[in-house]
A and B are shown apart, each in its own frame.
Chain A
Amino acid sequence: MSEVTLNDTTLRGNEARSRAAVLHRLRATDTAFRIVTRTAVLAVLAILSGVILALVIGSVPALKAFGLGFVGSEVWNPVTEQFGALAPIYGTLVTSFIAMVIAVPVGIMIAFFLTELCPLWLRRPIGIAIELLAGIPSIIYGIWGLFVLAPFLQKYVQPFLIDTFDGVPVLGSLFEGPPYGIGMLTAGFILAIMVLPFITAISRDVFDAVPAVLKEAAYGLGCTTWEVFKSVIVPYARVGVIGGVMLGLGRALGETMAVTFVIGNAHKVSASILAPGTTISASIANEFTEAVGDLYTSSLIALGLILFVITFIVLAIARYMLLRLQQRAG
């Protein structure tokens, strides 16, 4: 800046040149930075495309050998190299379903408690505690499920279920067989604890976003807290809650380690939820490093592809729902 005071013409010429050089340099770094950041964005795009491409290419041998029958066949025999995905798909859906049956009502009720009933000073601590549940790594849930939850269910809960529903038409076959401890019910239960914080956190946020005037109007008409919740808050926040539930479902479908510990890794479809089964992610985790032969490996990758497609659809719906909510708010 001090050069401005100089009035020597040669210097001024230099100054103009150096000024142009500085501007040029600034423009160059500006463009370079823009290009670098854009490349990083394209890299993120490339990763997802890479994931999909790698899975598709990897599963070609299996899909060629078994065709669409791969999805519908229960056989899983590494010795004869016959593979079918039915049992893992069934196990994935059943365990996730059990998880959602438990976690959705509980999660929504916790959000109801946190937003409408809980004293203000307790809200943050309880909220953080529930979110800590989401921070615990899944392998911890797995080891805990194997050594603590499974023996407990085997000893106390499962015999009770078996005895109670023995002979009842549908429920009887649902709770049939010896109490192994490990199995689809145990896996579903652990998944429920794991996705609970996701459903709670999102439900709490959307319940909080309900305009106070709507609630106050309902209270003014003489509604009870529960009636306000049921008839005002839930209808208003429905889209967001569904988004949160879908997000939790996406997690449950793809969860690996916690399930691998307690599912039992049995490639069969059984009506009883007490029976051991397998899920897509557990099959891959258990068998991939031991898979001998291209067809075995490829079948496991094809399982991964199916899992990815299912979770992609569920997560896309979740995002769409939450986006719609955002647009309405903004």
Chain B
Amino acid sequence: MAVAANNALYARRRLRNNLAKGLALAATAFGLGWLVLILGVLVFEGLGGLSLSVFTENTPPPGSAGGLLNAIVGSIVMTTLAVLIGTPIGILAGTYMAEYGRHDRLSTLVRFINDILLSAPSIVIGLFVYEVMVAPMGHFSGYAGAVALAVIVIPVVVRTTEDMLTLVPDTLREAAASIGLPRAHMIVRIAYRAARAGIVTGILLAIARISGETAPLLFTALNNQFWSVDMNAPMPSLPVVIFQFALSPYEEWQKLAWTGALLITVTVLGLSILARSLTARKS
């Protein structure tokens, strides 16, 4: 009797174990399946519309052929400016938090706030920049778009800079201090150099993050049907053009949207893989 009950129990436990293992396998296949499906459709739809004219012609009016030149240039210009604004602030703030005030109250508070900003809804950032820049200036502009993107860059760079500087061994700092190197010089010449790969990774990840951002640009940079590099005027960007074109009823526009989507995805994934390989080599 007891043996039979034991055997039944054993069989039940084995069944349950195998069931759980099967479910785990299925869950992994489910997750990977979406990646394959999304990238597959993207490549299939995007490659079809990929041609030289995508890079040489501006966005077309409804119902005619054209390219994405102005949107690509607008995206590059705003992303560059955003990185130029956001990176120095991010690196300096991360430096303070790792080197000067690792445990003081200001750093603890800002660390918390930075983590919140890191995952805050990006559309709220757009509203913020609209309130402080677009509304007072009276018009949408490329500057406002770049500032909105910079606000997204900062927390990413702060986080990686701080993490990477914290990883620099204290013995290096002590060695520098023992030969009389002032702290600022120690940070710039020793700590930055030791943490360089990690900090660059952070910047690359930040670029990857903002090159696909749409929500904060919708009502800061708005959009522009025409060629424009005037930062003080509404500026087109690839994500916003995709948004507009994909939701339109025109087939040419939808096709361009897919092509633009492929371009963005290749850029973003390329940047993240590059960033990953930078840190992988280091460790």
Q: Known A133-B35, A226-B17; judge A301-B121 contact (CB<8 A).
A: no
Cβ-based interface call for A319 (8 A): yes
Query: How far is the CB of B87 from the nearest CB of chain A, in Å?
Result: 11
- In the complex, the chain A residue whose C-beta lies closest to that of B117 is A48
Chain B residues lying within 8 Å of A44, measured Cβ to Cβ, are 89, 93, 110, 113-114, 117, 154-155, 158
Chain A residues lying within 8 Å of B96, measured Cβ to Cβ, are 34, 37-38, 40-41
Cβ-based interface call for A63 (8 A): no
Q: Known A137-B213, A308-B120; judge A143-B246 contact (CB<8 A).
A: yes
Interface residues on A, range: 35 or more
Q: Are A141 and B38 in contact (CB under 8 A)?
A: yes
A106 touches which of B27, B184, B269 (Cβ 8 Å): B27
Chain A residues lying within 8 Å of B185, measured Cβ to Cβ, are 26, 29-30
Q: Known A29-B182, A255-B121, A284-B123; judge A140-B38 contact (CB<8 A).
A: yes
Q: Are B13 and A227 in contact (CB under 8 A)?
A: yes
Query: How far is the CB of A197 from the nearest CB of chain B, in Å?
Result: 8
Contact stretch, chosen from B58-66, B125-133, B194-202: B125-133
Q: Are B25 and A113 in contact (CB under 8 A)?
A: yes
B41 touches which of A105, A148, A193, A254 (Cβ 8 Å): A148
Q: Are B119 and A51 in contact (CB under 8 A)?
A: no
- In the complex, the chain A residue whose C-beta lies closest to that of B98 is A37
Chain B residues lying within 8 Å of A315, measured Cβ to Cβ, are 115-116, 119-120
Q: Known A148-B41, A256-B214, A281-B121; judge A47-B154 contact (CB<8 A).
A: yes
Chain A residues lying within 8 Å of B158, measured Cβ to Cβ, are 44
Counting chain B CB atoms within 10 Å of each CB, which of A36, A43, A144, A250 scores highest? Answer: A144
Residue positions of B touching A, CB distance < 8 A: 13-14, 16-17, 19-21, 23-28, 30-32, 34-35, 37-38, 41-42, 45, 88-93, 95-97, 99-101, 106-107, 109-110, 112-117, 119-125, 127-128, 130-132, 151, 154-155, 158, 182-185, 187-188, 208, 211-215, 218-219, 222, 239, 242-243, 246-247, 254, 257-258, 261, 264-265, 268-269, 272, 276
For the complex of A and B, 6 pairs with smallest distance between CB atoms: A137-B212, A254-B121, A40-B92, A37-B96, A109-B27, A33-B184
